A and B are shown apart, each in its own frame.
Chain A
Amino acid sequence: MISETYSLLVNGKSYQVVDGHPSESLLWVLRERLELSGSKNACEEGECGSCTVLVDGEIVCSCLVLAASAVGREITTIEGLGSEDEISDVQKAFVDAGAVQCGFCTPGLLVAIDQLLNTDPDPDDLTVREAISGNLCRCTGYGRILEAVRIASKNRKVQNQEEQGK
C-alpha cells in the first residue's frame, strides 16, 4: 500500500500525518488521525455541510477534499473558533438565540457563519440564507440560526464602532 508522512497546518498548529494513504479525505484525517472530531461526517458527498472547514480561508466540505492536497495550506476547523476559556462571538450568539438543538450540524454552520461575517460584516437576510444553504439542519428549521447570525452581526457592528470611537 502506498503511504506517506506529511504535515498539515490546522488552527495554526502543525500536525504530522504518519503513514497516511493518499486517498484519505481531509475529514477522515482530521477526525481519525488528528483527533479533531468536531467536524462531522453526515453524508460524505458534499451535500450536508456538517464537515465544513476553511482551507486558506475558503469554505470547503472536508469530506470532498483529499487530506494530502491540503499540505502547506491553512486549515481552520471548529476547534479553531474561540479559545479554551471563551467561546467566540458567533458561538455565544448561538447560545443566546437558542440555535443549537441536536448539535450535529452546528460545527459546520459555525465555521460557515464565522467566515461569512469575516467577509461581510453586515449581510442581508438573503445573503445569510445563501451562505448557509449548503449546511443542512434538521432540528431548528433555521429560524433561530438566522437569529443567531443577526445577533452576532449586530454585536460585531457595535464592537467595531466602539473600537473606532477609541
Chain B
Amino acid sequence: MSSNGSDEYGTGGTSLLGNAVPRREDLNLLRGKGGYVANVPMEGALHAHFVRSNVSHGEIISVETSEAEKMPGVFAIYTAENLDLADRAVILNAYEAEMTRPYLAREKVRFVGEPVAVVLAENEYLAADAAENIWVDIEPLSALVDLEEAVAGEVLLFPNLDSNIVTEIPRRKPIDFSDCEVVVEAEIINSKVAAVSIEPRVTLASFENGRLTCWASNQGAHDYRDSVAQALEMEIKDVRVIITDIGGGFGAKGLASEEEIIIAHLSRMHEKPVRWMESRTENLTGFAHGRAQKQKVKMGGNLNGEITHYSLEVIQDSGAYPKWGAVLPGSTLMMASGVYRIPNVEFSSRSVATTTAPVCAYRGAGRPEATSVIERTVDLFAREIAMDPAEVRRLNFPSPDEFPFKNSTGTVYDSGDYKKALDEALGAIDYEALRNEQSRRREENERLQLGIGISTYVEVTAGGGGSEFGLVELKDDGTFRATTGSTPIGTGHVTTWAMLVADRLGVPMEKVEVIYGDTDVVPSGEMTGGSRSVQVSGSSMADASEKLVDAARKVVADLLEASEEDIVLNKESGNFHVVGTPAVSVSWGELASSPKADQKQLIGKSDFLQEGATFPFGAHIVIAEVDIETGEAKIKRIVAVDDAGKIVNPLLATGQVHGGLAQGVAQALLEEVLYDNDGNPQTANLMDYTAISAMEVPSFDRISMETPTPLNSIGAKGIGESGTIGSTAATQNAVVDAISYLGVDHLDMPLTPQKIWSAISDKSEVRA
C-alpha cells in the first residue's frame, strides 16, 4: 500500500481503467515546451503594468500620470477616470452592488495591492519604469484587519452601507446545551493562506477584425469567455478564449480577475495585442487568499463519549471586495457536523469586508474549514472526558447501513463506511504501539515528544451541479477525436479521458485524441473545480463514447444485413459482430472507411448531468515529533485512507492526494498570510510566505478504499481536494497531542516553532 513504490498499483484486468497509466501530457512539459500563456508568441504586443495602492484604506486625492506619460516606450496610461469600463455585475448573487470592486480604484482604495492605474508600454521593463513615476496621493483612513472589529462596524469600508457584513447565514434554531454532561468550547482561527500556483496570473489578449482572442491561465475557458464578454458588452461569439497549459489553479484561478478583464478591454480599445503577467508580490498581495475564518465552537455530550450537541459560529473574512470567499461558509455549513451523528447542530456565519486582499476559493474551499474545527473539537471533547480520540470518533459515526445518511444540517451523504476507513488507518500505523511509545517518551521526559493526530472526514464533490459537454467522433482514418468541455488544470484530464473513451470503445487509448480549452472548438464547458472533473466530465466522455457505439451499431447492422439489436461490440478486439457469430466482424477502421457510413452519423454527444453531489470520505493520521526545547514540529509520517469511489488512474489519483496532503501540512505548520494592524502585508514574497518545500513534507502512505457511487457510470467521486481536507486537522491534532501532556489544549495554525515554544514555556512557568 505504500505510495513510495510503484508496486502498489494493481492491474485492472483487461480494461485500462484502474491501472496506473502514465500521462500523455508529460512529454511537452518535460521538454519545457508547455503551452503556457507566457510562451505564446505575439509580435508587437504591448505590455501592461499595474500601479497598486500601498495604503490599505484611504481616499484617493490625486493620481499624477503626466511625468510617466512622457517616458520612453510608454503607449498609454489609464486610471479610473479614463478606463471607460462599466463596473462588473454582481457575481454569485452574494452581496450589495455597492460592494462591487471598481476595475481600477475609484475615490477610495481598500487594500494594499489594489490596482489604481495601468501603464501600457513597449516592454515590461519600460512599463514598470513608467509605473514608478506615477504619483498616487492617498489620504489614509483607518485600516480594518480584525474580524470582530469588522463585525462591530466602527470603521466602514462602504459607508453608504451601515455595516461591513457582506452576507450572512442566520442561526435557524438555537440548541440547548443544558442537559449535556460535558461541554467544551473554543475559539479557533482557520488561518489565511495563499494558493501560490507556481505560474502567477498571466494573460494575453489580441483584438483583430472585430474579434477578441484571450489566452488565459484559468480553470474554465468558457466561464472566462462569458465573464469577458459580459464585462466588455460583447457578443459571446466575438470572444475566443484559449487555454492550453496552466501552471496550477487550486481554486484561486476560478474566476476571470479584474486585471485580466482590463487587459482584454485595452486590447479591444487599441486594437493591439496586450500582455500582462503579475509579479510574485502582486500574486501574494493583489490576487486572492483562502480560508480565513474565525470560528466559535461548542460541543456537548455525555461522559460515555456520545456527542449530542454542536454549535459553530463563523466569521468569514471576505477581504476588501467580495469574491468567492464571501460564500465559503455555505460549504462549511453543509459539512459542519462532519462524519458524526450529532442530533443537535446549530450554525451561523457572517462574512465581513476587511481592508485586505479579496478571499477566494482555495483547494477545499469551505470544507477544510469545517473539518478542521470539528476534528479539533472532537479532540478537545475526548481530552475532557479522558477517552481515546479514536474511540470517541468510532462511537459517533453513522454505521454503513444508515446511508444515505442525512446530517443535522440537512446534507445527504450518498455512501460511506467511516469506521472502516479509521480502522484501516489505525491498523496501518499500529496505533496501540505508538500510544505506548508516546507514554514512554513522556515518562522519560525525552526531548522529542510524539504526537498522533487523527482526522476523519467527509466532503462534498461536484456540489456545484452543472452538466458537461462531451463529444466523441470516429475520424476517416479510424482514430477518434474526443472533445471535452472541461479545462484541465495540470490534473491529467487528457490521459484520463483517453482511457475512458478507449475503455468504452474497445480501442487502444493511443487512437484517441483529446480536444479541450478553445472556445471556438468546444461549444460549451464548465469550470474545473470542486473535484467534479472525473465524475462529471469523465462520465460525459464515457457517455458520449457509448452513444458513438450505439451509432456505430446501426451502420454495422446495415453492413452485415442484421438487426441492430443483434450487433455487439467486442471490447477485447474492438470489433463489431452479430451476437453469436464473432467470425464475421467489422472493425472501427473498416467502419470509418465504409461507403455506407455517413461520417456525420458516427458521433456520440453527451451533456452529462449528475443527479447530485457525491461524498468522498476517509481518515488521515499524522505522526509528529515535537522538540520541546526548540518548539520545532516535524511530521514523520502521514497515513491517508481515502475513499473517492472508483479510481480511474491510481497514478494520477495518488498525485492528487499527495498534493493535497502537502497543502494541508503547509497550512497547519508553515504558511500564513499576515497583515499588520495597519493593513500592510507582511508576507509579500516567497521569503516571507513560506510555501512548503521538499524538506518539510513527510513520507506519504496512501491506502485506497473504493466504495463506488451509484450516481455515475464510472462509480467515481472526486479526489482533488480530500488530501487537504483531512490532513490539515490531522497535522494540527498531532502537534497539539504531542504537547498536550504539558497542559496545552489548543494552538491555532500555523504551528510554528515560535508558537509551540511559547505555549510550552508558558505552561512551564505555570508549573514552576
By a beta-carbon cutoff of 8 Å, the part of chain A in contact with chain B is 23, 31, 36-45, 47-48, 50, 77-79, 81-82, 87, 91, 94-98, 100-107, 110, 128-130, 132-147, 150-151
The residue of chain A having its C-beta at the shortest distance from the C-beta of B284 within the complex is: A43
Contacts of B660 in A (CB 8 A): 141
Q: Is the CB of B32 within 8 A of A78?
A: yes
Contacts of A133 in B (CB 8 A): 693-695
3 smallest A-B Cβ distances: which pairs? A38-B32, A102-B490, A141-B662
Contacts of A138 in B (CB 8 A): 195-198, 248, 250, 659, 663, 691
Partner of A42, one of B27, B33, B195, B199: B199
Q: Is the CB of B490 within 8 A of A94?
A: no
Interface residues on B, range: 35 or more
Per the bound structure, the CA–CA distance linking A39 and B36 in Å amounts to 12
Per the bound structure, the CA–CA distance linking A36 and B33 in Å amounts to 9
Q: Is the CB of B22 within 8 A of A98?
A: yes
Q: How far is the CB of A127 from chain B (nearest CB, A)?
A: 11
Per the bound structure, the CA–CA distance linking A47 and B29 in Å amounts to 21
Per the bound structure, the CA–CA distance linking A39 and B655 in Å amounts to 23
Q: How far is the CB of B228 from chain A (nearest CB, A)?
A: 23
Task: Tell me what chain B mostly uses at the interface: helix, strand, loop, or mixed.
Answer: loop
Partner of B26, one of A95, A130, A137: A95
Q: Is the CB of A139 within 8 A of B490?
A: yes
Residue interface bits B319-338, CB-to-A below 8 A is 1, else 0: 00000000000000000000
Residue interface bits B51-81, CB-to-A below 8 A is 1, else 0: 0000000000000000000000000000000
Q: Is the CB of B30 within 8 A of A87?
A: yes
Q: Is the CB of A143 within 8 A of B198?
A: no
Q: Is the CB of A142 within 8 A of B694?
A: yes
Q: Is the CB of A102 within 8 A of B248?
A: yes
Q: Is the CB of B25 within 8 A of A103?
A: yes
Q: Does B20 contact A (CB under 8 A)?
A: yes
Q: Does B491 contact A (CB under 8 A)?
A: yes
Per the bound structure, the CA–CA distance linking A96 and B20 in Å amounts to 9
Q: Is the CB of A136 within 8 A of B686?
A: yes
Contacts of B5 in A (CB 8 A): 147
The residue of chain A having its C-beta at the shortest distance from the C-beta of B665 within the complex is: A141
A-B contact pairs, 22 of them (CB 8 A): A36-B32, A38-B31, A39-B32, A43-B685, A94-B30, A96-B6, A97-B6, A98-B655, A100-B26, A101-B491, A101-B659, A102-B245, A103-B34, A129-B695, A132-B693, A136-B198, A136-B691, A137-B198, A141-B663, A142-B694, A143-B3, A143-B699
Contacts of B652 in A (CB 8 A): 98
Contacts of B250 in A (CB 8 A): 138
Per the bound structure, the CA–CA distance linking A87 and B22 in Å amounts to 15
Contacts of B25 in A (CB 8 A): 100, 103
The residue of chain B having its C-beta at the shortest distance from the C-beta of A21 within the complex is: B125
Q: Is the CB of A87 within 8 A of B280?
A: no
Q: Is the CB of A101 within 8 A of B280?
A: no
Contacts of B200 in A (CB 8 A): 42
Contacts of A136 in B (CB 8 A): 196, 198, 686, 691, 693
Per the bound structure, the CA–CA distance linking A117 and B409 in Å amounts to 54
Contacts of A137 in B (CB 8 A): 198, 694
Per the bound structure, the CA–CA distance linking A50 and B29 in Å amounts to 13
Q: Is the CB of B651 within 8 A of A98?
A: yes
Residue interface bits B175-216, CB-to-A below 8 A is 1, else 0: 000000000000000000001111110000000000000000
Contacts of B26 in A (CB 8 A): 94-95, 100, 103
Q: How far is the CB of B273 from chain A (nearest CB, A)?
A: 15
Q: Which of A91, A137, A139 has the most CB of B within 10 A?
A: A139
Contacts of B668 in A (CB 8 A): none
Contacts of B662 in A (CB 8 A): 140-143
The residue of chain B having its C-beta at the shortest distance from the C-beta of A50 within the complex is: B198
Q: Is the CB of B34 within 8 A of A141?
A: no
Q: Which of B250, B490, B491 has the most CB of A within 10 A?
A: B490
Q: Is the CB of B694 within 8 A of A79?
A: no
The residue of chain A having its C-beta at the shortest distance from the C-beta of B24 within the complex is: A95
The residue of chain B having its C-beta at the shortest distance from the C-beta of A106 within the complex is: B29
Contacts of A151 in B (CB 8 A): 6
Q: How far is the CB of A91 from chain B (nearest CB, A)?
A: 4
Q: Is the CB of A45 within 8 A of B655?
A: no
Q: Does B246 contact A (CB under 8 A)?
A: yes
Q: Which of B277, B280, B491, B658 has the most CB of A within 10 A?
A: B658
Q: How far is the CB of B167 from chain A (nearest CB, A)?
A: 30
Q: Does B23 contact A (CB under 8 A)?
A: yes
Q: Is the CB of A41 within 8 A of B38?
A: yes
